[in-house]
Amino acid sequence: MQKFKDILNLSAPLMAAQMAQSMMLIVDTALFGLLGVDVLAGAGLGAGLYQFLFIVLGGFYLTVTYQTAASVGRQQLENLGGMVRAGAVMGIIISMGVALAVYTLPAWLGRGSLAPAILAPATDYLTGAAWITLPAIGFMMLRGLAAGFALTGFIMRISIVVAVLNLPVSYLLMRGGGPIPALGVYGVALGSALMMAAACLGLGWALWRHPEVRKVLMKAWEAKCQGADFKPYASLGIPILLAHAMEGGLFTVVTVLAGTLGSVALAAHTIALQTASLSFNIYIGIAQGHAIRVGQAYGARCWHDARAYAGRGLLLGAGCSVLALLIFVSWPERIITLFSLGASPGALDALFSIGVDILFIAALFQAVDGAQVIAMSSLRALHMGMVPTWITVISYWAIAFPVALLWMEPYGLKGLWCGLGVGLGCAAVTLIVLFQWQIHQLGRSGGRGA
């Protein structure tokens, strides 16, 4: 029971923080809905494409969390400053590359079969989203430090404040007021960029007040980058990045495929995806909270504790998936209406006819979706690199995508979502088995903690 409480004490603030961050995108999507179904579909597509980049970068910078947790477990913090500085240097380079990709992506989308009414708002969102990346990377790194030191309360408080401010700021930039012009979809993206910058500055100020973290930050400022400082990002960050790219890429491709089914189908897909993403943040919070303890146990070479924390994390995830299932099944019409306040009665009826079924399917694979992310975090906390990544490649692209594509023609959007569920289920089962095997091997060999 104590380990459950320990995980909850760390996970609850991270859940709240993840929910708050996800609410920023939920709010953005609801604002798109005020501008009409076509804008909701197109801007939702742009947001989904940018979210893919965001997810990939988030995976890469999870290295900071796992490396910090293991260092805390070993009580050896001297190398963290160089690692943070190396991450910052890469962040500047990455943000410039992402900006280039974001500005060129609409031209590639224009070569497809997307209607102009969908392409225009997608382009507007992507152009504004280019400003999000650099402050987002800064926030990811600071968040990783805070999580590794088990200072999850800082993350929660900053995230909630920023999420609350996002609605009035983004609405003002979208609609305009006084000297501020109405920027439409571009203004919504720009509002998210301003809020991410505020989150980065706020968390940095909070962590500077913590003595141990301040030492790490001061050393990061003073240190010169060496080859060893980049090594954790290569050995752990790149495999996590690839795994997130495989999952995020799958959802992105499915979003594009949903766009070929028409504006109503794409709008229904966007609503279901954003709703599922909101509940998915609960599992991310559990995954990150329990992985802190798994990583610290790994650093201290306490294999029994690592196994116990991983098992309790999975049980907590299963309980939350049941709650999400009940919510999705009980209030599908209310969820759809929340995202479609600007829709006409006829368009809303069309959304109901598709969206209710999609929300039901999304509810069913909550369990396997949560299990796979929690099991994956357990393996990353053990510093496993490429093997979990190969599992995701096979599960998502050799199983989920072919099944989704096969079922799309006869079942439409429902077939796409069912295919996703099959792949996530395969990933969940395989990753859980791999963790049990790996922790058994470490216990037998007495392997080193890092």
The predicted-structure confidence for 160-197, as pLDDT tens digits, reads as follows: 999 899 999 999 999 888 888 888 888 999 999 999 99
Sequential DSSP letters for 327-377? HHHH-HHHHHHHT-TT--HHHHHHHHHHHHHHHHHHHHTHHHHHHHHHHHH
| Tens of pLDDT, residues 58-94 | 888 888 988 888 888 777 777 788 888 999 999 999 8
Residue-wise burial string across 178-210, b where 16 or more C-beta atoms lie within 10 A, e elsewhere? eeeeebbbbbbbbbbbbbbbbbbebbbebbeeb
338 has pLDDT over 80: no
Q: Which residue has the tokens 């590794």?
A: 148
450 has pLDDT over 50: no
pLDDT at 343: 63
Contacts 24+ apart (CB under 8 A), 242-246: 242/389, 242/393, 243/59, 243/376, 243/388, 243/389, 243/392, 243/393, 244/55, 244/56, 244/58, 244/59, 244/60, 245/52, 245/55, 245/56, 245/59, 246/389, 246/392, 246/393, 246/396, 246/397
pLDDT at 113: 61
111 has pLDDT over 70: no
| Tens of pLDDT, residues 396-411 | 999 999 999 999 988 8
pLDDT at 110: 65
| Tens of pLDDT, residues 286-321 | 888 888 888 888 887 888 888 888 888 888 888 888
Mean pLDDT of all residues belonging to the chain: 84
Crossing angle of the two packed helices 152-175 and 2-34, in degrees rounded to 10: 10
Tokens of 45: 């597509």
Higher pLDDT, 217 or 367: 217
pLDDT at 406: 92
Question: In the structure, how many helices (H) and strands (E) does the chain have?
Answer: 18, 0
- Region 251-274: what's the mean pLDDT? 83
